[in-house]
């Protein structure tokens, strides 16, 4: 089935004429309608996608082929798309039509890809389950009573269910990796600044990072090479040359040093998930790698530090949504102050308001030093821990999430339990390191993800390790049983 193929396989199929781009796109649109109950998409661009597909077929016929010509890609609805609604999953932006494309969108389109739609997400990327979206929760295709993870849950579920070839996501504290683990796909968060944030609606500016969500590490390497690179519109974007990440993939793991952090395997990790991870480690050792126990003594403080820093930055970034310039505005305000108050109260959801209030408090006079400054000091200690670890090992391995996908509504009443779903992923964001999640097996018929964390700008190292693992195993080829005609491997 064409929707079960990786991008690399689809590009080959298009080249040999096995099917056309229009047929591939029509297949995806049919599946999006058929599996509408998953709620993966906020908007589906059927007409423009089919026209772009037809143009791609003509371009291929004439020999004008780009790296992604004819491949349907979905964008998380946090990336601005010209003349197309960009909502960030919020009522605040439900009617916002961006007048420009984000840099990520521009680069992927320039490679020949087709934008098939905008995916659902936690409101302003604040959440770990995709249940805070104004447009309703996304369902996990492996079990529709469970969450897909968040905030990029719509992208993860869409890729897993075969509704697009790949999707873009953003990762502020694990929002690419955690949903990738829950949905059984490959998700990569690059080094902070490796991909431009211009045109990406901000949550926490020192933590936000765009990245690809794909079936395989090979596809992730292809997309990363196209998405990465300097951008004069983003002063935080790294201007170093972008490597050809595909060239890294055939690097063997012979002699590679893998760090295993003991803190990742403490209380809280589901027993079956730990068993699956240990099995994966044995595969890496069979491929020639050696494992070494490493210490990250301050990583236990990553969650509290994150939930001071991220809300503080969010409270600043979201102050622009005041009902004056764009976005939601309340009806019949009594005066300007009433308009500000009601527009923000009505336009934002509970989780967003909770984080705005937390951030405003931690930045306020008398509390800045006690909370925000202290959190930033902890952030530096965590970064130093990773620096020390990479003097001893090439990359780190551990769980992506403490458990497989949990039930819808299970953790909505306990904010602490929800925040702890990112306990293994947050540290990489605080340190600005590249990290990715790959599928490595199942627990109670639900996917389990393995996290690989690399040194700065060492995306090639972890992509290569992931690719070598996927050459030896078939977990990335498993698909959820979404219809009676499709069987789970």
Please tell me the predicted confidence (pLDDT) of residue 166. Answer: 98
Q: Which residues contact 426 (CB under 8 A, 6 or more apart)?
A: 173, 174, 302, 303, 306
Residue 148 has pLDDT above 50, yes or no: yes
Residue 272 has pLDDT above 90, yes or no: yes
Name which residue leads in pLDDT, 413 or 122.
122
Which backbone phi and psi does 396 adopt, to 5 degrees? -110, 150
Please tell me the predicted confidence (pLDDT) of residue 487. Answer: 36
151 is catalytic: yes
175 is catalytic: yes
**Residue 98: pLDDT band by 50, 70, 90 thresholds?**
very high
49-81 pLDDT, tens digit per residue, is 999 999 999 999 999 999 999 999 999 999 999
Active-site residue identified among 6, 21, 76, 302:
76
Q: Enumerate the domain spans of the chain.
A: 2-262+390-477
464-489 pLDDT, tens digit per residue, is 999 999 999 999 999 998 643 443 33
Please tell me the predicted confidence (pLDDT) of residue 484. Answer: 35
d(C-alpha 434, C-alpha 414), whole Å? 30
Query: What's the whole-number average pLDDT of the chain?
Result: 95
Share of the chain above pLDDT 70, in %: 98
SS3 302: helix
Please tell me the predicted confidence (pLDDT) of residue 147. Answer: 98
Residue 320 has pLDDT above 60, yes or no: yes
278-293 pLDDT, tens digit per residue, is 999 999 999 999 999 9
Active-site residue identified among 6, 129, 151, 152:
151
Active-site residue identified among 155, 175, 180, 196:
175
Average pLDDT (32-39) is 97
**Residue 14: pLDDT band by 50, 70, 90 thresholds?**
very high
Average pLDDT (97-109) is 97
Average pLDDT (88-112) is 97
Residue 1 has pLDDT above 90, yes or no: no
What is this structure's pTM? Answer: 0.96
How do strand 435-443 and strand 290-294 relate by DSSP bridges? unpaired
396-435 pLDDT, tens digit per residue, is 999 999 999 999 999 988 888 898 899 999 999 999 999 9
76 is catalytic: yes
Q: Which residues contact 149 (CB under 8 A, 6 or more apart)?
A: 128, 129, 130, 140, 156, 178, 179, 180, 181, 182, 183, 401, 405, 421
Residue 100 has pLDDT above 50, yes or no: yes
Instruction: Say which residue the tokens 């939930």 belong to.
Output: 307
CATH superfamily of 2-262+390-477: Amidase signature (AS) domain (3.90.1300.10)
Complete DSSP assignment for 208-265: --EEEEESSHHHHHHHHHHHBS--TT-TTS--SPPP-GGGGTT---TT-EEEEEGGGG
Take residue 388 and report the two structure tokens written for it.
Answer: 């020390």
């Amino acid at each position: 089935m064409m929707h079960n193929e990786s991008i690399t396989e689809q590009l080959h199929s298009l080249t040999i004429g096995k099917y056309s781009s229009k047929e591939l796109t029509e297949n995806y649109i049919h599946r999006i309608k058929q599996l509408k109950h998953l709620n993966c998409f906020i908007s589906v661009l059927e007409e423009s996608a089919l026209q772009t597909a037809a143009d791609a077929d003509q371009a291929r016929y004439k020999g004008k082929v780009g790296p992604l010509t004819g491949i349907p890609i979905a964008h998380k609805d946090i990336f601005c798309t010209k003349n197309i609604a960009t909502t960030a999953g919020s009522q605040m932006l439900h009617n916002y039509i961006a007048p420009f494309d984000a840099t990520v969108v521009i680069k992927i389109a320039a490679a020949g890809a087709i934008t098939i739609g905008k995916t659902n997400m936690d409101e302003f990327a604040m959440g770990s389950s995709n249940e805070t979206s104004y447009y309703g929760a996304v369902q996990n295709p492996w079990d529709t009573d469970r969450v897909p993870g968040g905030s990029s849950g719509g992208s993860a579920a869409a890729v897993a269910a075969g509704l697009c070839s790949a999707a873009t996501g953003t990762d502020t504290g694990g929002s690419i990796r955690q949903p990738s683990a829950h949905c059984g796909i490959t998700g990569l968060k690059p080094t902070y600044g490796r991909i431009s944030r211009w045109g990406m609606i901000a949550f926490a500016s020192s933590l936000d990072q765009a990245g690809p969500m794909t079936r395989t590490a090979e596809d992730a390497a292809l997309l990363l090479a196209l998405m990465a690179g300097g951008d004069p519109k983003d002063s935080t974007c790294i201007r170093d040359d972008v490597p050809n990440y595909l060239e890294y993939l055939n690097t063997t793991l012979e002699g590679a040093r893998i760090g295993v952090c003991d803190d990742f395997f403490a209380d809280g990790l589901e027993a079956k998930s730990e068993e699956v991870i240990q099995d994966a480690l044995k595969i890496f050792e069979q491929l020639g790698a050696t494992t070494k126990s490493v210490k990250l003594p301050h990583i236990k403080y990553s969650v509290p530090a994150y939930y001071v820093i991220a809300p503080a930055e969010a409270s600043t970034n979201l102050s622009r949504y005041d009902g004056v310039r764009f976005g939601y505005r309340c009806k019949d305000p009594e005066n300007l102050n009433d308009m500000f108050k009601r527009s923000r109260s009505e336009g934002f959801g509970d989780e967003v308001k909770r984080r705005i209030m937390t951030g405003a408090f931690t930045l306020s006079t008398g509390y800045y030093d006690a909370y925000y400054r202290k959190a930033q000091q902890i952030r530096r200690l965590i970064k130093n821990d990773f620096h020390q670890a990479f003097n001893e090992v090439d990359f780190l391995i551990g769980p992506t999430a403490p458990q497989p996908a949990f039930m819808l509504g299970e953790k909505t009443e306990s904010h602490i339990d929800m925040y702890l779903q990112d306990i293994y992923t947050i540290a990489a964001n605080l340190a600005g390191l590249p990290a990715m999640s790959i599928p490595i097996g199942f627990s109670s018929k639900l996917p389990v993800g393995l996290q690989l964390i690399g040194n700065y700008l060492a995306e090639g190292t972890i992509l290569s390790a992931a690719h070598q693992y996927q050459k030896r195993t078939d977990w990335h080829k498993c698909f959820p049983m979404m219809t009676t005609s499709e069987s789970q491997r």
